[in-house]
Amino acid sequence: MDTKELLKKVRKIEIKTRRLSDHIFGGEYHSTFKGRGMTFSEVRQYQYGDDVRNIDWNVTARTNEPHIKVFEEERELTMMLMVDVSGSEFFGTASQFKNEVVTEIAATLAFSATQNNDKIGLILFSDEIELYIPPKKGRSHVLRIIRELIEFEPKSKQTNIAEALKFLSNVMKKKAIVFMLSDFIADDYQHTLKIASGRHDVTGIRVYDKHEESIPNLGMVQMQDEETGEYMLVNTASKKVRMNYGRYYSEKVDYFKDSFSKSGAGTIDCRVDESYVKKLLGYFKRRG
């Protein structure tokens, strides 16, 4: 992709997602994810209705007028976006591929965090850590994240969620708001998720296509595994083949929901042909 086309794509995503974060998610994000506590801001004269427990007795004695301490939320937080860039994310039968929806969701979350003056970091992962961008503030930083989400080409097409969570625990020592975006067609990550959720506020956003849930009866079809690159002939006319695939897919979804639930982490299911705006807003409101 040439620079002009890339900048055009970045700008298009910025316009769409920034509008969403400004008008819809800014306030919801702020009320959902609280700061680290209250910090002293200033002293002012006592007004009727103020809490007498906040009276500053030293200033009151010095001025002969009652004054109170004013506290405000210590707001600054860090958001980490963990994005699956394995081969299965480049799948889509509707208007968008999964990775395109993931990019829009990540950008919307990033601009919501920026609006609240929080830091944003990015981890792109497959079965290894493909890219790590340490948390920083500001629009230009968010635009860099969007550029990477659009044009980054991973070295591997496979997935290892546990490795990504281990890396998160190693690089983020202080509590962060973590959004992991993937189709979660993986297993063996429950233990590392539990460790990460013990320190961080973790939410898994499962982005999927409705045609991944089951195989239609199309006769003998050549299929390619996006993560291994392997081609195979599949007899989709076989009821047993369709049932086995449906069971396999359901097991992965159940494992995702069970793992996040047991770890005390949140989940959002987002199908590519549905509105991720409604899904995010509903999640924020339930949590707020």
Q: Is the same domain home to 56 and 120?
A: no
Which structural domain range is residue 60 located in? 38-73
pLDDT at 6: 73
CB 229 within 8 A of CB 235: no
Q: Is the same domain home to 172 and 272?
A: yes
pTM of the predicted protein model? 0.78
Beta strand ranges found along 85-227 (DSSP E): 119-125, 129-136, 177-182, 201-208, 220-224
Q: Is the same domain home to 65 and 137?
A: no
Q: With CA atoms as reference, report the closest residue to 123 among 221, 67, 217, 202.
A: 202
SS3 94: coil
Q: Is the same domain home to 241 and 161?
A: yes
> What total number of domains does the chain contain?
2
Q: Is the same domain home to 61 and 149?
A: no
Chunked mean pLDDT (size 10), the chain, 288 residues: 74 78 65 58 81 88 88 71 83 71 92 87 97 94 93 92 97 93 95 96 94 80 71 81 88 96 96 89 83
pLDDT at 149: 92
Strand duo 201-208 + 177-182: pairing: parallel
Indicate which CATH number applies to the domain containing 236: 3.40.50.410
Q: Is the same domain home to 47 and 182?
A: no
Q: Is the same domain home to 114 and 235?
A: yes
